Amino acid sequence: MSFAYRQKPIKNIIPSAAKPRYHSYQNLPTKKVAPPNLHKALTLFIAAVWFVNGLLCKVLNLVPRHEQIVARILGNEYARQLTIAIGIAEVVMAVWVLSAFKAKYNAIVQIALVSCMNILEYIFAPDLLLWGRGNILFASVFIGVIFYNEFILKKRLQPKDIR
């Protein structure tokens, strides 16, 4: 003969006043979901910024101011070669952004590079910047876009919407 103790289920653990009440006209709480096109558009925008600045502004020297900034910070002797190397690295960054390979690491590298480049330019070449010392504000916005796109917006996407 077994004398197993049968426990009764516990009902109403939460007092009725503390329970959320949903009426037919209210939406049930849901996870914030971002539109998948926004993530794709921001990724293309970020890649385009790297591509245009690298290829057009630096490698093809359509904006000579970039070479002058490099000369001011790193010296005049190899300024053209260094500007081309930086431009090629920026084009590679654009390809990396589009590839989505190790995207979180990529975003961290982008944020670090943009921060360092703009701090150096702010200190050593503010007169050569398009918006002078105010250029740091645009860099901060760009850093914010990179962070938002990778670390906030991407979490809100459904798994099938990610790249």
Q: Which of 97, 108, 138 is nearest to 121 (CA)?
A: 138
103, part of any domain: yes
44, part of any domain: yes
Which structural domain range is residue 42 located in? 36-157
12, part of any domain: no
Q: In the chain, how many domains are there?
A: 1
* Residue 63, Cβ density class (10 Å: 0-12 exposed, 13-18 middle, ≥19 buried): middle
> Contact, 43 vs 154, CB < 8 A?
no
Q: What's the pLDDT score for residue 6?
A: 62
10-residue stretch averages of pLDDT, the chain, 163 residues long:
60 57 55 79 98 98 96 96 98 98 98 97 95 94 97 81 57
